[in-house]
Amino acid sequence: MVPERNNPLISIVLPVYNTADYLEACLESVLAQTYAHFECIVIDDASHDRSVVIIEQYARKDPRIRLLQNETNQGIGYTRNRGLEVASWTYIANFDSDDIAFPEWLETQLQYLETHPDTDIVGANFVFIDRLGNRLLEKNNFPEHDRDIKKVIPLVCPIANNTVLIRKKCFDEMGAYRPSAHVAEDYDLWMRFRERYVFHNTQKSLVYYRVHGQNSIIRERDRIIRETMADFRNKVRYLYPPSFVLIRFIFLSFVSYGIVFIRLKFR
């Protein structure tokens, strides 16, 4: 167990854009965390559904929830950065407004960083669910150790952004998300952070990742595939000989995402 502190250690940064259908389940899972000392900074990116109404209701019930609002839609990178600007605690937890956290998410990740001072960023596995919350597949093949994570980063993203806990000093020292990275702002961040910081992946699932029509991974699937393949061709020229860890992760990632798309298509 992580000892309770008089002051919160964790700032959760939670961007929101038109996710009213899933937002209550998301916020309930945040408030149900076994580690209770946190602030949850919710930044609405000019939603035009009931998202703001829902956030305001939860903010009135629990002072740990803080609402910020963009006057116009600015995109995910800008919105995450606005949350980071007001975050005041030692650790940053990223989350997404259509996902659901396991109750032990924060406690598990905080326990690891508190007992491993040489590690800066800790992620975890997750479970795919559909828009109704039905379980699709567990994605449990993220590499565990820093050396293996960094072997994979040049080609694919081996850290799930909605599971991570990060020492805030990383953002203070290296900067935040690039607003120009509209699709894979997290991958761009890991590519920069890998030169300086130590990664780890907890080998258990801590988040339900919801897949639905408005996810960027679904909405911009063709663009992501094109950009990923172009990036792959550029990088492969500079890579050391491929390792088993790299090949295994790429293969299993294609398989897991393929299965999820197929199950959604024929559901």
Low-confidence ranges of the chain (pLDDT < 70): 1-8, 181-183, 213-255, 257, 259-267
CATH numeric code, 10-265: 3.90.550.10
What pLDDT is attached to residue 17?
97
Terminal CA-CA length for the chain:
40
Specify the pLDDT at position 266.
Answer: 56
Q: ∠58-33-81 over CA atoms, to 5°?
A: 65
Residues 32 and 101: their CA atoms lie apart, in Å, by 9
Quote helix, strand, coil % in the chain, to nearest 5: 40, 20, 35
Cα–Cα distance, 49 to 20 (Å, whole number) = 6
Cα 16 from Cα 12, distance rounded (Å): 13
pLDDT at 130: 94
Confidence (pTM): 0.83
Q: How far apart are CA 104 and CA 2, in angstroms?
A: 11
**Cα Dmax for the chain:** 55
HSE, CB side, 13 Å, CA atoms: give it for residue 71: 0
The string of DSSP letters for 35-96 reads S--EEEEEEE-S-SSSHHHHHHHHHHH-TTEEEEE-SS---HHHHHHHHHHH--SSEEEE--
Q: How far apart are alpha carbons 27 and 55 in whole angstroms?
A: 8
pLDDT for res 156: 82
Q: Domain ranges in the chain?
A: 10-265
| pLDDT for residue 218 | 45
pLDDT of 8:
58
pLDDT for res 31: 98
Q: What are the tens digits of pLDDT across the range 73-106?
A: 999 999 999 999 999 899 999 999 999 999 999 9
